[in-house]
């Protein structure tokens, strides 16, 4: 009889059918902390959470699930657009090469600043030690 009744993945995760990908991910991680068997949770509950999350995190699976359950009235491309995916290729939109270069440059600048501060601190420490012990 359980096979005849479709599971409501939104209800399992405690989110609305219009929830964003970030809301779905947050709900999953919050619930998984309690349901995980290694943390004293229930195995069946964790299986249900994983099934719900794996269906709803993928925009294509989510579109077809919503359509089958009668939740969605938006197109698959709209679902992909909302979840940050490209409609044609299905690949997730990541940072551009320009953004990656800027990110790398900022990381390098932070590392250099930390290194310079360490050198200054070490110089001050050695000066203090030199003045303290050689007087």
pLDDT tens digits for range 39-69: 777 788 888 889 989 988 888 888 888 888 8
Confidence band of 1 (pLDDT split at 50, 70, 90): very low
Tell me, yes or no, whether 78 and 100 share the same domain.
Answer: no
H runs (alpha helix) in 4-96: 9-13, 21-35, 43-57, 59-69, 76-83
- Between 31 and 42, the more confident residue is 31
Tell me, yes or no, whether 27 and 69 share the same domain.
Answer: yes
The number of domains in the chain is: 2
Tell me, yes or no, whether 128 and 72 share the same domain.
Answer: no
CATH number of the domain encompassing residue 65: 1.10.287.110
Tell me, yes or no, whether 21 and 57 share the same domain.
Answer: yes
The answer to whether 57 touches 64, Cβ cutoff 8 Å, is no
Tell me, yes or no, whether 18 and 40 share the same domain.
Answer: yes
Tell me, yes or no, whether 104 and 124 share the same domain.
Answer: yes
pLDDT of residue 92: 52
pLDDT tens digits for range 77-130: 665 565 555 545 555 555 677 777 877 888 888 899 999 999 999 999 998 888
Tell me, yes or no, whether 67 and 100 share the same domain.
Answer: no
Tell me, yes or no, whether 19 and 2 share the same domain.
Answer: yes
In whole angstroms, give the CA distance from residue 66 to residue 85: 17
Domain that holds residue 106: 95-135
CA distances (Å), origin 1, targets 4, 6, 12, 49, 66: 5, 10, 19, 20, 22
Tell me, yes or no, whether 11 and 68 share the same domain.
Answer: yes
pLDDT of residue 87: 46
pLDDT of residue 73: 56
pTM of the model: 0.51
């Amino acid at each position: 009889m359980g096979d005849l009744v479709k599971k409501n993945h939104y209800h399992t995760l405690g989110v609305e059918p219009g929830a964003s990908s970030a809301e779905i991910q947050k709900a999953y991680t919050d619930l998984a902390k309690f349901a995980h068997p290694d943390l004293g949770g229930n195995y069946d509950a964790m299986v249900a959470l994983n099934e719900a999350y794996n269906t709803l995190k993928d925009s294509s699976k989510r579109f077809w699930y919503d359509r089958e359950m009668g939740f969605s009235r938006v197109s698959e491309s709209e679902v992909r657009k909302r979840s940050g995916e490209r409609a044609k290729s299905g690949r997730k939109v990541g940072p551009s090469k320009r953004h990656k270069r800027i990110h790398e440059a900022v990381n390098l600048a932070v590392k250099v600043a930390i290194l310079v501060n360490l050198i200054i601190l070490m110089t001050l420490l050695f000066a203090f030690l030199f003045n303290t012990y050689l007087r």
